[in-house]
Amino acid sequence: MSLISLPVQAQSVTVPEITTKPIVLGQKTLQWPREGGMDEIPERPFDYPDLTGQANILEDWHMQTSSDDWDLLFSTSGNFYRFLNVFFRQTYLPNNPVVEQGQWGYSTSPPVSLPQLKNGGRLSIGNMEILGMPMVVMGPKSIMNGVVKGGYNDGEPAKILSNFGNVLLVPSGNPQKINNIWDLGRENIRVATSNPETEAGSFDNYSSSVFHMAFREVEADTGDINIANRKATNLFNQIFNPKNNERRRKWVVGDRIHHRDVPQALADGEADVGLMFYHLAQTAVNAHPGLFEIVPLGGTVENPEPLLGNRVATMQAIRIAGNWTPQQTVNRDNFFSAITDPVANSALLTQYWVREPVTTGNNQPPLP
């Protein structure tokens, strides 16, 4: 008996439904406030395309602009960028409509002002080339000294603000129970700081503060500067000169801008604690609720009182000489006058965790 093969009824062919979500590369990248006048976190307050991405940091914005087009251009160390954003957009621009309606710009980066001045005002970010001498330079005293030494200045520098020294930034819950600088010397603790090559000034602040705070604490306890020197040196070497650092990754740094790199290292589990200026740590906590917390180094989180040796930094501004048009000169001078008026800026300074310039030095008296 032969079997009769019946035709197989064709099933409908459809593309399978996707029921899972992909892993987004770079999804751990922290999102920081976008400047748009309202200091929004993290999105811009306007509905327009934003090309920023993990592998696209100004790679698809191609531009060159020259100094003739700038109504105001200035260069600054970036660590007080939150205060600067709101001051610029809510205080300076509304009172200077020529600039507000024109072309302005500034960089908030590791100190690049002197290289800009020396190379005629060239700065590149991705595929964007900015050609223009800064009209005002802002930063620590060392930058001011370099500007004056190079003969780039038009007048003397003036102080803008002071910070509240340094603190420790840790993941929320402080899983490694880090309570003071001595805990940084524990063998299993990975410490993140600024890069000593790209941000030498801030690194010197952090590293010297560790040594000075340790020294002053032991000196106060024992009255013996030799014991203080020995213990401070031992702690310093445990952090910055550890044995087998490559294997243990005891001390880690980012490659460019530590006020982004240090929180990122903590968020990605590549560090256990970061040394940061108080206002930068507050920025990280504020921008990423529930992700970080602060361990103070003197006083409390709400009322910081830097320990002796915890270096306090003061920022200054200086006008740059140039072939400015009369209007550019007015724009420059108005900006300089406004940014160097800490009494008028007091409320904003307080809001963004800094203060009027202190007159008592840097809180780090000379060692014996």
Separate counts of helices (H) and strands (E) for the chain: 11, 13
In which band, very low, low, confident or very high, does the pLDDT at 77 lie, cut at 50, 70 and 90?
confident
Distance between CA atoms of residues 160 and 285, nearest Å = 24
pLDDT above 70: residue 23: no
> Which positions ≥6 away from 89 have C-beta within 8 Å?
35, 37
DSSP string, 248-301: H--EEE-SS-HHHHHHHHHHTTS-SEEEEEHHHHHHHHHHSTTTEEEE-SSB-S
Residue 263 · residue 30 · CB < 8 Å: yes
Please compute the mean of the pLDDT values over residues 122-129 and round it to a whole number.
85
**Which of the pair, 173 or 111, is modelled with greater confidence?**
173
- Same domain for 141 and 185? no
* Three-class SS of 313-331: CEEEEEEECCCCCHHHHHH
The CATH number for 120's domain is: 3.40.190.10
Same domain, residue pair 111 and 204 = no
Residue 55 lies in a domain: no
Give Cβ neighbours of residue 327 (< 8 Å, ≥ 6 apart): 71, 98
From 164, 158, 118, select the one nearest 139 (Cα to Cα): 158
For residue 174, being part of any structural domain is answered with yes
Least confident of 83-87, 238-242, 321-325: 238-242
SS3 113: helix
- Rounded Cα distance between 212 and 73, Å, is 38
Same domain assignment for residues 155 and 183: no
In a domain, 278, yes or no: yes
Whether residue 303 has pLDDT greater than 60: yes
Give me the percent of the chain exceeding a pLDDT of 90: 64
Statement to judge: residues 125 and 178 lie in one domain: no
Question: What percent of the chain is modeled with pLDDT above 70?
Answer: 86
Confidence tier at 47 by pLDDT (50, 70, 90): low
171 and 152 inside one domain = no
Gap between the Cα atoms of 91 and 93, Å rounded: 6
Looking at the structure, tell me whether residues 183 and 145 fall in a common domain: no
Is the model's pLDDT at 190 over the cut of 60?
A: yes
Same domain, 276 and 319: no
211 domain residue, yes or no? yes
pLDDT band at 267 (very low <50, low <70, confident <90, very high): very high
Q: Is residue 137 part of a domain?
A: yes
Taking the mean position of all CA atoms in its chain, how far away is CA 40? Answer: 17
The Cα–Cα gap between 144 and 183 comes to 36
pLDDT tens for residues 141-179?
Answer: 999 999 999 999 999 999 999 999 999 999 999 999 999
C-alpha 173: how far from its chain's center? 23
Q: Tell whether 124 and 229 lie within a shared domain.
A: no
Confidence of residue 29 (pLDDT cuts 50, 70, 90): confident
Range of the domain at 241: 166-295
DSSP string, 209-224: HHHHHHHHHHHHHHS-
Question: Is residue 92 in some structural domain?
Answer: yes
Residue 247 lies in a domain: yes
C-alpha to C-alpha distance for 103 and 113, rounded to whole angstroms:
20
Predicted local distance difference test score (pLDDT) of residue 35:
72
Task: Please check whether residue 368 lies inside any domain of the structure.
Answer: no
Same domain assignment for residues 72 and 86? yes
Average pLDDT over residues 188-216: 92
192/211 same-domain check: yes
Q: Report d(CA 145, CA 162) in Å as an integer.
A: 18
Q: What is the mean pLDDT of the chain?
A: 88
The reply to whether 92 and 208 lie within a common domain is: no
Q: Specify whether 183 is located in the same domain as 281.
A: yes
Is pLDDT of 356 > 70?
A: yes
| Between 299 and 129, the higher pLDDT residue | 299
Q: What DSSP designation does 163 have?
A: -
Tell me which range, 3-12, 14-23, 153-162, is most confidently predicted by mean pLDDT: 153-162
The reported pTM is 0.89
CB 191 within 8 A of CB 251: yes
Number of domains in the chain: 2
pLDDT at 275: 97
